[in-house]
Each structure stands twice: as C-alpha cells, then as structure tokens.
Amino acid sequence: MTKIGRWFAVLGLAGVLAGGMARAGVAQNPAPDGQQAQAAATQTGAQEAYRLPPEKLAKAIALGRIRSVLHFVYALWDLGVLWLVLARGWAARLAAWTERTVRRRWLQGLAFFAVLLILLTVADLPLDGFSHQVSRAYGISVQGWGGWALDMAKALGLTVLIGSPLMLLFNGIVSRWPRRYWLWAWMAAVPLMVAGTFLSPLLEPVFNKFEPLAESNPALVAQLEKVVARTGTQIPADRMYLMKASLKTNGLNAYVSGIGATKRVVVWDTTAGRIPNDEVLFIFGHESGHYVLHHIPEGLAVSAVSAFFVFWGCAGFAGWLVRRFGPGWRVTAVGTRAGFVVLLLTVSLAGFVLEPAVNTFSRHIEHEADIYGQEAIHGIVADPQQTAVGAFNRLGEAWLEDPNPNPLIEFWTYNHPSVQQRAEFAEHYDPWANGGRGKYFAK
C-alpha cells in the first residue's frame, strides 16, 4: 500500500467497522458457526482441515514470524518518521522553502505536500525492499528488482498525483475553519470514500496487465455465469477479466472490485487453470457475497459514522500536540502547512490503535462471505464442503500461511480469519443435511 493509502485508510473504515451489518436471515437448521464448527471438528477427530507438507510448514512458520515483525515495524517506523520530520523542524523548513520558492499559495501547498510525500515514501524504501526480498526468498514473488522498482515509481507517482491535491484540500479546510475543521473534513471525506471505491478498478491496469477472461478460459466464464445468475450480482461476461499475476507472483486470487459501472470480476492467471474451476467458483462466490450482502455500501455508511468520531478525536489530539510541542517544532497552528503534518501523525496513530477493531470487523464480514460463497455454489459443484476446503488449502499453501498463528498476532493483524479456521468451518458447514436450508439460499 502506498503512503497516501495508509494515511487515508482511516477514511476507509468502510470495510472495517461496518460490524453492525445485519445478518441476512436465520437458517432453520443452522450449521455450526465459528467456535462450534471447531468443536465439531475436534469431536469427530477431523482436525487440521488445512495442512502443509513438512517443508512448507517450516517455511510458513518462519515467514509468519517475519510478516508479524514487519507489520509492527512498518507502523512504528511510519510514526517515527513523521515525529522526526516534526521534531527536527523539517516540516517548518519545507514550508518556509516553498513560500520563498513558489509565488502562488495553492502551488506552494502542492509543492509542500508533493515533497513531503516523496520524502516519506523514500523513507519506507528500506522496509519495502526487505519485504520484497523476503517474498522472493520464500518463492511467493517472482518479480525482478527492475519490475519492482518500476512499480514503486508508479506508486510514488500516483501518491503524489492524487495525494498532494487531497492533502491540499484538507489543509485548506483546516485553515479555513480552525475550530470545526474536523466536521467539514469529515463531510469532504465521505464522498471521497465512495469515489475511491468506484475509481479503484480504473487504476489497477497501471500495475498489472488484464485481458478478457473469455479469451483464454471460456469454460470458466460459462461456470462463473452460473454463479452470477444464482447470486444476482449482474456482472456480464465482458466485465470478467484475467490478470497476468504470474509475471509477479505465485500467489492465488480472484476478486470482485468496483461499484456500479466499474464492478467487475478479476481472476489471476495463477488461479485460472492452476486450481480446479470448482474452487475458483467458490472464491468468486465468496467475493460476490460482499456485494449481495451489501458489505460495501453498508461498510461505507458505518465508515462515515466512525470517521466522524475519528476526525473529532484526531483534531483534539493534534491541537494538544501543537500546544505541547509546537514551539520546539516551529509549528504555530494545525492549520499551517507544518501543522498539517501533526494531523497526519495523529491520523496514523489512530489507524494503528484502531487496527484490532478494524480487523475484528473485517474478519466478521469475511466469515459471512465464506458462508455465502459455500452456499452460492451449492447445486453447481458436486461437493461444496470439500471444494471450499480445497480452495483454502491451495490459497494457504500458495501464500505460505501459518496453520496455527499466534492468537494475539491474529487478533491484531489478520483482516481475514486464519486459513485453518476457515477450512475447519467449511468442512463442517452443511446446512442442507436432514432437509435443512442455508442461511442465504433456501436450496
């Protein structure tokens, strides 16, 4: 994720804090859910539905530890860099330099934020490079350093192109309404959340190559259309794409992105033809669940409500920081260019502190989508349970996920349930037994 993406992720509590989403219906013969499913697995002796060969298991455990350390190092590093930029007076010096160099005030702002974003992105390069090397060493990434550097350059370009005007907009709001800027900033952020969801598919071709899925996998398209018809997601064949992920990774994935006119299905070429089509259908069914269960619009709504309180809290904390440390930082007010960096620091800190709550909700909706996906392929594939278990095993093996992650790490950093939990639930989820019905589909 780019630097601007991390900061404005707090605006997108969309997918994260929409935990109040209604559960669609109650099954007459409900299958075991969550801990009940795991208990059922233990009672029947069918433990560890997700398994790895010994060699890959050792790699997954080692890689899991590296990922966990990197996750927290990234967060603390970003906070530390922002603090250093303020404490060393660099933010104030940069603001003074842009005022001396550029005549128009709005161009001064664009220059300030462009340089700031470049500085902060470059500061992350050592961690980004180490992360890429680890991915290459464990056989997940196959992208060379030249291609990686090009992608980083593209990401930086988009960060500056999109991030600088956005920061200028919010900085202007803070300067114009110093007492209630958090309210006006929140009002501006809400439509930006929606716009970001709509426009995100249009930026994907900057980093990856796409082609119509029907050109290389017409049989898969025909099967996907069966799931589309069953779920009512209304995605025509001409909006189903194959992404050339094999140029960069050995990982597996298939997803749905966008809303309205930009909504589309994307299947990685590492997935199509590499795993059984039935398992691709389950993955697609899972992604369809996010749309059918209204996770995106409801998530945006809850995100908006959550952001209201986040902005209010960040504004108060930023004001206190300026009063406490402002003289040493050469920052007189939050509404100044340098003062806006203080606000970025508080937003980054809020994102880190709220991460467990964000991921708890995310795991909840991912579990809901798992249930929906398994029910969506009922009657289309021969064995929905084993199809889902097989898909989770292939996904876990491709990405080398630890079958038994540390509970604290899972609670704090996992935005999906662990593959082990997902596979165990899928193995024992059969609402159709004894004439029952599914949670989302009657038959």
What's residue 196's pLDDT?
85
Q: Contact 265/239 with Cβ under 8 angstroms? A: yes
Residue 6 has pLDDT above 50, yes or no: no
Query: To which H or E segment does residue 242 belong?
Result: strand 240-243
Q: How confident is the model at residue 32 (pLDDT cuts 50, 70, 90)?
A: very low
What's residue 125's pLDDT?
95
User: Which pLDDT tens digit goes with each residue over 85-121?
Assistant: 999 999 999 999 999 998 899 999 999 999 999 999 9
What's residue 150's pLDDT?
97
What's residue 340's pLDDT?
95
What's residue 107's pLDDT?
93
What's residue 304's pLDDT?
84
Rounded mean pLDDT, 415-436 = 91
Residue 179 has pLDDT above 50, yes or no: yes
What's residue 193's pLDDT?
82
What's residue 84's pLDDT?
96
Averaged pLDDT of the chain? 86
Q: How many helices (H) and strands (E) does the chain have?
A: 16, 4
Which range among 254-258, 283-287, 321-325, 417-421 shows the weakest confidence by mean pLDDT? 254-258
b/e burial code for range 61-71 (CB count within 10 A of at least 16 → b): eebbeebbeee
Chain position carrying tokens 């929906």: 372
Strand, coil or helix: 212: strand
Rounded CA gap, 394 and 388, in Å? 10
What's residue 16's pLDDT?
30
User: Which pLDDT tens digit goes with each residue over 123-169?
Assistant: 999 999 999 999 999 999 999 999 999 999 999 999 999 999 999 99
User: Which pLDDT tens digit goes with each residue over 366-406?
Assistant: 999 999 999 999 999 999 999 999 999 999 999 999 999 99
What's residue 256's pLDDT?
80
What Å distances lie between residue 304 and 5, 44, 80, 170, 173, CA to CA?
17, 44, 28, 16, 18
What's residue 103's pLDDT?
87
Q: Which residue has the higher pLDDT, 182 or 4?
A: 182
User: Which pLDDT tens digit goes with each residue over 222-256?
Assistant: 999 999 999 988 888 888 899 999 999 999 988 88
Q: How confident is the model at residue 47 (pLDDT cuts 50, 70, 90)?
A: low
Q: Which two tokens stand for residue 419?
A: 């593959």
Residue 30 has pLDDT above 90, yes or no: no
Residue 4 has pLDDT above 80, yes or no: no
Residue 46 has pLDDT above 90, yes or no: no
Q: How confident is the model at residue 261 (pLDDT cuts 50, 70, 90)?
A: confident
What's residue 412's pLDDT?
95
Q: Which two tokens stand for residue 150?
A: 């090009």
- Helix H, strand E, coil C: the string for 135-197 is HHHCCCECCCHHHHHHHHHHHHHHHHHHHHHHHHHHHHHHHHCCCCHHHHHHHHHHHHHHHHH
Residue 418 has pLDDT above 70, yes or no: yes
Residue 179 has φ and ψ, to the nearest 5°, of -90, -35
Which range among 39-43, 70-74, 297-301, 373-377 shows the weakest confidence by mean pLDDT? 39-43
